[in-house]
Every structure is written in C-alpha cells, then in structure tokens.
Structure 1
C-alpha cells in the first residue's frame, strides 16, 4: 500500500499518474493531477472540480471503486499553539529580510530576463516503464534496441507479416516512438499547431503539407502493451522506456542492461540512432552558463527549448547546417510577435555551406536574413561568459553577442558505445556499425538508421542520417528479421524548408566540395516564358543573368569522376523518383541541360 499526501504542489506540474500496486491482486491506487489556469483539476467520476494547488489533497480509489481521503495529520493543542507562535515569528523576520533582499535585487536586475529554472524539474516527471527491470521479459522472439523511427518502422514491418509476433523495444527515452523532423520545422513555423496538449502525457500535433493535423507520435499510448504483459499476450509491441543496453552477447543472443538484467532474443535489431555534438567552448563552460546552453534532438529538447525561448528576448544558434538553419528560421517565425532576436553563427560562407554550391548558399543566406535572422558567417565562438545575467559570446572575428539562450547545432555522431562493448565492427571513416547488404552485423543481429554503415551498390559505403533512410532501412531490417533476406538498395532522400522561398530535396552524395553543374530557371522581365541556364562550374555563377543571380527554381547535379552522384531539387517538387532513376543510370556529364528537362526545368 502506498500513501501519499500532496501539499504545495508546484503549479508548473503538468500531468502525473502514480500507480502503486498492492500485494493483493487487483488492488491499485491511482492519482491523476492536471493543472488548469494555475489550479488543480480533480477528476472523479467524469466531473471536474477545480482546487488551488496549495489546497489539493489526492483522493485515492479503493478496490470497490469508492474513494477515500487520506486522513489529516493530528497535533496536540499545545503543539499547535507553539507551532503558531514559531510560524508567526518566522513570518515577521522573513518578511523584513526578504523585503530588503527583493528591493535590493530588483534595483540590480530589473532590466534582465529572469529564467524559471525550476521548470527543469519537469524533465524528470516522466517515469520509467516499467518502474523496475524485474518486470521486463527475460526472453523475447524479437528485440529492438532503440526507440526512434527505424525501430518503429521495423516492428511495424514485423507485425504486418506476423500479427501475433511479440516484440520488445528497449528505449533510453521516456517516450514512445515519434517523428523528429517536425521538431525543427513545422512545430515552430505554425504557432497554432505546436501547442502542448495533455492526454496521458505530452501530446504534440503539427500541420502537414496537406493541411491536416497529425500527432507527432506514430501510435497512441494504448497501442502498446505494458512490458510485464507481453509474455501472456497474443502478440504486440511493448516499449521499455528509460533503460539502456550496455552490451549484446552475440553468441548467446543476449542483451545486457546497465543494471545487469539479461534479455534473451531470437532476432535483434540495433537502432540506437545518433546524438548531437557539442563544442569544447561550451563543454568547458561553468555550470551557470551550461544552464543556458541547449543541444537539440529529442521531443524533450523541443519542450525545454520552447520554454527557454518563451522567456527570452534573444537566442543564438551555433551552426549553419540543416538543423541550425531550420531552427534559426523557425525561431524567427515563432518569435516574430514578441520581436525575438535570433542570431546565427557559423564558420562557412553561407547557410548550408557544406551542402550547397557557394552561390546558392549565399543566395539562401540572403533569404534567411529576410526572415529577420542576424546571420554571422565565417566565424566561430572563441569564448563564453555570463555578463549581467546574460550569455556573452565572443567571436573570432572580434564581434561579441549578448543573448539569453544558446542552441548548439553542429551535427551529430552515431551512438556506437554498444558496438564497442559488444565487439561489433565500427567503420573508421564514416562511423556507425558495419553491416552487409542485408543490414546484418552478425547472425541474428541487424543494424538500421543513423547507426548503420552500409554498402550502397551505386555510391559505395555510406552512413546516412535522414528520416527516409531510417524508415526504409528499419522496414527492411524488420523483414530480414523474419528471414526474408532482402538487400538494401534504397537511395534515401532528405528535405528542408527555410522560409517561404526556400524548399529543397536531395538524394545521393551531396557535398559542396564536389564539382557541380546547376540548371536554374531564369525569369524574364516580360511575360514571356522563362528559360533555363546552365552553370557548368560553381565559379561561373556571377556571370549568369547579367550578374543578377536568380535561384528560385532549379536542379543541382553533384559530380564525381564525371558521373552524377547526387542531385538537389531546388523548389522542384514530386520529382524525387526521377532523381533516383538518374542516379541509377550512371549518367555522365554530357548534356545535363537535357537531363534537367526531366525535372520540368526548361
């Protein structure tokens, strides 16, 4: 039996369910707490009764369904009188000292942002599932390590072909599988759809390209089986949340958790994904500064960053790649009403400088600046300090920035510590766990998603960190766990949106260091039809269109050994399958202007 009295509940508490099973079968205590406008809504028999947070005392439910209140604490009359006098004296002293402190502190900090760091406690409100590792099944036919998109795609493929399959997913996150791309895209761009809703936990929705709302999570919580019920079920998926696998004993087909718990498997998939990189200048900063620094990858990172941004007047984004550029544009849009100042600092010449040819990158930077972002290229952070309760970034170019929060978005690294402990091969050039054409690292052990280094029959060995790759590689790994022995030949794509004028898709090897041939539509000043122009070299861009570059719509071909190895479709849509066909045809650089016509560029 578990008895709990809640007093002075923080109004920041969003939602929490506490279940404490009695030793008697069928006995359970349940508490549901939800805030509404600073108060607590007590849910009993379908009715809502609002109480102030400091007044709330939980009502528990007995086995017969009747509610009972926890009894109040008892005090003797003498102890009550003594407590009253002591409390009164403490109150008087506290008011005098506290008032003096508040007056003094307000004179110093009246112009500064005050961050509510108590919100960080929200990170720990979600509980492990199950609460103890003793409730995790000891043996399963299908085991998946990692709880991301590749994991979801794999167990969906298994269930599609074997509806009675019992699948156990081990995830470090305290959440069920969800989509990551909207975290840096739609959730910031559309203020009406990124709001947090409460329904057995955090629920985020976003508006898709077709205008329909969609839940960020792939499946509702009731789709999954509790891990303790998986053995007795007729098939299903159980998500173990908040646990880490330390090692896989390949020979004995056993996964070993950090606490020593062992789980035997028939087939296993490793889909541990990747983690955001940090920079030494921030890693070595003081704890006070680190409270104002965020990395960005998970749904928890999004929720925390949103709270920080809502309390900020200025934010600095460090990094000019996919994530850094998307967040810079998204935060500028999100904070437009409150005049949020967004800085973006990176080492390259322009946004997406490692991906796009330099003229196109520079053109993109101009579009990002049009959104209100203060883009600062060709430099990096040299030092970081706290000045007047704000973060001061000193840049190598001599500039300095004062901001309330900093987001580091400088790329990711594959999560391979499990491979190191398990004796699996890690590729020295690309990182990730080395797999064969069937995504197998060893017998009965597969790897998919960001953590897999696979062999591409067209482009050679690669490692890819994109959503489409996670979906398809996860699906194929799931099918091969059923014995289908399929080879991975998919050319995965990526997409990005940087405001209303920049939307692009890419496929293959996209690297600005490679030679490129670009074909862009050149709009005419009259109403006549537009024409296309070819840039055989990125250095010829300034000669185009009388020095007035127009990169509104076009195709960029990335070349290697005079062959097309990558394609970017710039504001060109529904042509990605055509791009896949071009890559598979092994086309040489003869007349790419004609090839561009396949994409509607004329």
Structure 2
C-alpha cells in the first residue's frame, strides 16, 4: 500500500529537533531507516536566521539557512502531514491525510503553536514562526510601510530591530512600562529600550492588543490603553503553546509538556520527546521545558543517539541568546527582574554580567556582549554562593574567551 511505510526510527515534527535527531541517529546507525512526519511543506531550516541574519547580514543568503537533512542523513520526509494518533501497542502513527507509519523507535518533536490574538485572518497578519512566515513578512516589509510588532519578547524585539533596518517603519507594542523590564535590571532595560528609540522604532509601552480589524488600506488595532494604531501589517510574537495533544491522546504522561526522564524517554519505553514539548530534568536547573534553539539542537541530537541505543543522559544545560542592533546577549537559567541582581560591567558599559539571585543560590546569569563564558555561567548556577556578592562580581572575567 502506498500510504503505508515502516521505519526503524520515526520522528514526528519537521524542525531543527528532527534534523539534529537524524544526525544523532546516524552517528550510531548508518543504515536504519528514518522517517520524518513534517507538517511544514518546507524542509528543516536554521530557525534563528529567520529573525536575525536573513535580515541583518547581507552576506548570509537563504541557501545558507537550509539544513539539508534528507541529503545528509538519508531520512524520508513526509511533508505537509500532521500526525493525529499513535497506536502504542502496534507501534503505528497515523496522519490526517491517511498515512500509516510503523516504527520501532519514535521521537515526538511537535514544537509549539504561536499564541493567537483577536486579529482577523488576513494575509497582512503574521504569527511569526516558519519559513513561510518569513517569506510573507518579507513581502509585506520595505518601501517605508508601517508594521506593528505585538509583543516585547525575544522574537518581538528581534523582529522590530530587523524591520527598522530594512526600509520599514516599525511600531512595537508591549505590556511592560519599559521594554525588557521584566527580564533586565532597570538600568539595562532603559539602555535596551534606548537602542530601539535611537533606531526609530516607535514605542507603545504598557499596552496589549484588544482587537484588530482589517480594511482595504491597512489594519486598525485597538489597544488596552485606549490607543488606536493604523498600520500596513501586523506581526505577532507573544509566545507559543507546546503541541502536546498527540502525546496526550496516546496516553503518555504530560504536565507542562511531555514528561521525559534524563534519557529523554517518555512513559513509553519506545517513545522519546525533545525540543519545545519536552519537560526534562535539567542537571543544574531542575525539571523544566525550554523553547530555545540550543536546547532544540542539543536535545534533538541526544534523543537521536538514544533512539539508536546509546542510553546516555541529556546533561546539557541550554543557553539562549538574542542579537539586536549589534548587541548580543546570552543567558543561562532564569532571567527575572523581580529577583535580586548582582552586576559587573566594563568601564565603558559595553560588556557586562548580571547574576540573578533566588535566596542563597544563583538562578540565572546574563552575559551582555561577552562571548565564550557560558560554561562559567553554568558553573555559577551550580556552585556559586549567592551570599558572597563581592566574589560573584569577579567570578566571571569581563573579557571574551574561546566559545564553549
């Protein structure tokens, strides 16, 4: 039957986790068949490029973003297919279009769905996540059009910076009184916001979208602060909801995500989970679910190896990063401005470290324009005495090092 296939390894999800998992499998098994069920029509791509380099680096082309998963690993990708059920007894995944896919080992990497707002279904409204979203926003941008960016998250701030650097007027709508105020210490948040003001990004702080309407000549947004914003297009970056429905229907244990052990194995020994959906026991941070690219790549790689029999723990504590207006910041752990902080800055304030303290422990570390210090940040969270503020300030040197 043309709609039936068997695979030694089946991956549900077509993003960066799938790519890194396929590569992890191939490190141990050069011949085992790999199938990928991908709701996206487009193949796996280096997703950070969609909001960073493709907008800001003229030397970086779209061809540089493709991951070439099928060519490099021999995986078979079933594009445009959404998995709807898992028969754990017969080890079968069925898709919405009627494909029946049998597996020996299964990896769930279903990612997340962007959170929706009260906006019309319209070509000019983009919930930003995929290659097609990038292409559509590119078509909408330029020619000094005005695009409203809703959300002051990592993706929202990156997109506002990207747009204003590409012949586009940008207005950034965010719920905090100061941009970045929920994650950065007050002084840094004001500096961060200043980068956007200097670049010409209009700000609407302390506001959320109430409702949006579309007309022939643009969109009108009604905000909770009473403002009305008219714009040519809207791009939304207000977080995602993990796609755990497939796992729930299969009877796997879930909570804030699909629960896995340190081998990334679910409550079914033949089924693993990785990426945005996986709630895993981090060796330093404790159980959590992380939606950033470093976690997707490293967790996917380890899941692939374990699918192929490695039986190794996932002992990597991920970091996350953003790049805006030439400033790169990286972080490990929790960034929450309500926590007490200890800061160390270079004399010119161009490089800095912020330790976020939760009682007697370091809960998170922010590295501002400081490369090669992630491993030291991890060790600070695992080992440092938060009570010794002076020692914290000098724990991580204020100079670049080799990347860890």
Identify the residue that residue 365 of structure 1 maps to in structure 2.
193
Q: Distance in 2 between matches of 1:135 and 1:505?
A: 47
Equivalent position to 2:222, from 369, 379, 394: 394
Structure 1 590/399 Cα, relative in aligned 2: closer, same or farther at 3 Å?
same
What is aligned with 1:295?
127
1:20-99 matched pairs, under 5 angstroms? none
Give deviations 1:413-457, integer Å, cap 9, x for gaps. Answer: 111121122112221xxx211111111111110000111011123
1 CA distance for matches of 2:260 and 2:337? 27
1:582 equivalenced with 2:350 (yes/no)? no
- 3-state SS of the aligned residue for 1:465? coil
Q: CA deviation at 1:521?
A: 2.5
1:553 pairs with 2:351: yes
Please give the residue correspondences for 1:422-441 in structure 2 after superposition, counting only pairs within 5 Å.
422-427=250-255, 431-441=256-266
In the alignment, the residues of structure 1 paired with residue 214 and residue 274 of structure 2 have an alpha-carbon distance, to the nearest angstrom, of 42
Superposed CA RMSD: 2.0
Q: 1:185-228 CA distances to partner (integer Å, 9 max, x unpaired)?
A: 1111134544xxxxxxxxx14xxxxxxxxx1111176546xxxx
Kept in 1: contact 2:149–2:237 (CA 8 A): yes
| Deviation per residue, 1:42-76 (Å, 9 max, x gap) | xxxxxxxxxxxxxxxxxxxxxxxxxxxxxxxxxxx
Tell me by how many angstroms 1:139 deviates: 1.5
2:27 aligned partner: 160
Q: Do structure 1's residue 599 and structure 2's residue 393 form an aligned pair?
A: no
Asked if residue 278 in structure 1 is aligned to residue 116 in structure 2, the reply is yes
CA distance in 1, matches of 2:218, 2:93: 46
Stretches of structure 2 that go unaligned for 5 or more consecutive residues are 400-404
Partner of residue 173 from structure 1, selected from 40, 45, 57: 40
2:339 and 2:392 map into 1 onto residues whose CA distance is: 19
Using structure 1 for the length normalisation, give the TM-score: 0.63
Q: How does 1:443-458 map to 2 (within 5 A)?
A: 443-458=269-284
Assess, with a 3 A threshold, how the Cα gap between structure 1 residues 473 and 217 changes in structure 2: closer, same or farther.
Answer: same
Q: CA deviation at 1:387?
A: 5.7
How far apart, in 1, do the equivalents of 2:39 and 2:334 lie?
A: 31
Q: Is the 8 A contact 1:349 1:358 kept in 2?
A: no
Asked if structure 2 preserves the Cα contact closer than 8 Å seen for 1:190 and 1:334, the reply is no
**CA distance in 2: counterparts of 1:142 and 1:342, whole angstroms:** 45
Change in CA separation of 1:357 and 1:250 when aligned onto 2, cut-off 3 Å: farther
**Aligned residue for 1:519?**
344
- Alpha carbons of 1:183 and 1:376: their partners in 2 closer, same or farther (altered >3 Å)? same
Cα displacement (A) at 1:559: 1.4
- Taking the aligned partners of 2:219 and 2:287, their CA distance within structure 1 comes to 42
Q: Is the 8 A contact 2:356 2:362 kept in 1?
A: yes
Q: Deviations over 1:316-359 (max 9, x none)?
A: 00000100000000100011xxxx31100000122233322233
SS at structure 1 position matched to 2:226? coil
Cα distance change, pair 222–519 in 1 and its aligned pair in 2 (3 A): closer
**3-state SS of 1:555 partner:** strand
CA distance in 1: counterparts of 2:100 and 2:288, whole angstroms: 32
Q: Within 1, Cα distance between the matches of 2:359 and 2:248?
A: 35
Deviation at 1:299, TM superposition (A): 0.6
Structure 1 pair 184/422, CA: closer, same or farther in 2 (3 Å)?
Answer: same
Partner residue in 2 for 1:216: 65
2:180 counterpart of 1:331: no
Q: Which consecutive unaligned segments of at least 5 residues does structure 1 have?
A: 1-133, 195-203, 206-214, 225-235, 524-550
Alpha-carbon distance in structure 2 between the residues aligned to 1:445 and 1:382: 41
Distance verdict in 2 for CA 1:301–1:433, change over 3 Å: same
Instruction: Label 1:425 to 1:445 Cα distance change in 2 as closer, same or farther (>3 A).
Output: same
Task: Determine which of 317, 320, 332 is the counterpart of 1:491.
Answer: 317
Distance verdict in 2 for CA 1:313–1:592, change over 3 Å: same
Q: How many residues in Structure 1 have an aligned counterpart in Structure 2?
A: 398
State the alpha-carbon separation in 1 of the partners of residues 83 and 330 from structure 2. 35
Report deviation, 1:402.
Answer: 1.5
Contact 1:519 1:593 in 2 (8 A): no
Aligned to 1:479: 305
The corresponding residue for 2:402 is none
**DSSP-derived class of the 1:440 partner:** coil
- Secondary structure of 2:378's partner? helix
Cα distance change, pair 396–220 in 1 and its aligned pair in 2 (3 A) = closer
Q: Is the 8 A contact 1:320 1:353 kept in 2?
A: no
C-alpha separation in 1, matches of 2:34 and 2:265 = 18
Q: Check whether the contact 1:368–1:498 (CA below 8 A) recurs between aligned residues.
A: no
* Native 8 Å contact 2:141 2:166 kept in 1: no
From 65, 74, 86, the counterpart of 1:248: 86
Alpha carbons of structure 1 residues 365 and 295: separation in structure 2 relative to 1, 3 Å: same
8 Å CA contact retained: 1:191, 1:334: no
Is 1:185 the equivalent of 2:52? yes
Q: Secondary structure at the match of 1:217?
A: coil
SS at structure 1 position matched to 2:165 = helix
**Conserved? CA contact 1:144–1:270, under 8 Å:** yes
